[in-house]
Amino acid sequence: MDRFAYACIEDRPRLRWPNGARVALLVVPNVEHYEYTPPPHALRDPWPRTPHPDIVGYATRDYGNRVGMWRMLDAMDRHGVRGTASISIGVFDHYPEVIAALEARKWDYMCHGVYNTRYLWGLPEDEERAIIQDCVQSYKRHTGRDLPGWCSPALSNTINTPDLVAEAGIKYYGDAGMMDDQPFPLNVKTGRLLSLPYSVNLNDAVNQRQGHESEEFARMCMDAFDTLYAEGGDQARVLALSVHPYILGMPQRVGHFDELLSYICGHADVWKATGEEIADWYFANAWTPMVDHLKAREARHAR
């Protein structure tokens, strides 16, 4: 299957956000649970630093749910930004105080698997389907709502993941989000699925591993916003910021996160949106024109 059709952004139907916004700001805090002693996985060891348990690795990440999350919430509240949590579904059971805080703020969720130490790589289709269905059912049990989004744990997708996510009735998908600055229809076997921008370039964890300080990370995000904002006057864009409470929620870093949000939200024509809000708007206003555009392009190139 040709999963990702091609469409040059210069030739697409014009995309406009509500009230003529140039940029949809999508802040994606990764709210994760890492197991202290995870089961072995054939393709990746979640804790490669030492023999298990890796207390340094575990404790570093658990800081986010204990402390960092609350600083991040304060910063986002100051600027009226609701998050789209890329959330391990196990967080609903392990950290009820975190969930209560997110629910009180009406955050959105895209499921990040069960735990961020349980990968999808190498799973047979039936096992992967069972995991996705279990996440959907767990979310429904905890919230009474349908799960709107999916982003695989550690982005550990398989060739079947988009089909299984669409089959489960999930609207939007983050695993392919690096390919575009706009939402984009994906080809799936049943139903429909929207790829939502999700950045590994504007991702604090990736930048930390590359040696970039938080001040530099914030500056990169501002520079990206400036470009997207200028381009968004003609063709609306999404700025997706992937952040982690155990990183930007640290006392020496959270000020840079606050400064970043202040800069972006100080501009007019910025839509502070959640993933589901973007997906619903796109389905209602842009999905059909884009699908028709892709069909016409395919017909032209088939001649």
Give the tokens for residue 284.
Answer: 């209602």
Helix (H) or strand (E) holding 261: helix 254-265
Expressed as residue numbers, the domain containing 262 is 21-302
Round to whole Å and give the CA distance between 135 and 112: 9
DSSP-derived letter for residue 170 is -
**Residue 302: CB atoms within 10 Å:** 6
In a domain, 5, yes or no: no
Confidence tier at 302 by pLDDT (50, 70, 90)? confident
Q: What is the Rg, in whole angstroms, of the alpha carbon atoms belonging to the chain? A: 19
Mean predicted confidence (pLDDT) in 253-269: 98
pLDDT higher than 80, residue 303:
no
In a domain, 141, yes or no: yes
Give the tokens for residue 247.
Answer: 């990183």
In a domain, 16, yes or no: no
Greater confidence (208 vs 143) lies with: 143
The closest alpha carbon to 27, from 67, 89, 78, 92, belongs to 78
In a domain, 12, yes or no: no
Q: Report the Cα–Cα distance between both ends of the chain, in Å, rounded.
A: 20
Mean predicted confidence (pLDDT) in 187-210: 91
The CATH number that applies at residue 192 is 3.20.20.370
Give the residue ranges of DSSP H helices in the chain. Answer: 55-63, 69-78, 91-94, 96-104, 125-143, 161-167, 204-209, 214-231, 245-248, 254-265, 275-285, 287-302
**Longest C-alpha distance within the chain, in Å?**
60
Q: According to the model, what pLDDT value does residue 41 have?
A: 86
Round to whole Å and give the CA distance between 187 and 79: 36
Mean predicted confidence (pLDDT) in 266-293: 98
Q: According to the model, what pLDDT value does residue 1 have?
A: 56
Amino acid identity, position 71: R
In a domain, 54, yes or no: yes
Round to whole Å and give the CA distance between 30 and 44: 20
Give the tokens for residue 270.
Answer: 């910025």
In a domain, 15, yes or no: no
Mean pLDDT for all residues in the chain: 95
Give pTM, 2 decimals.
0.96
In a domain, 10, yes or no: no
In a domain, 103, yes or no: yes
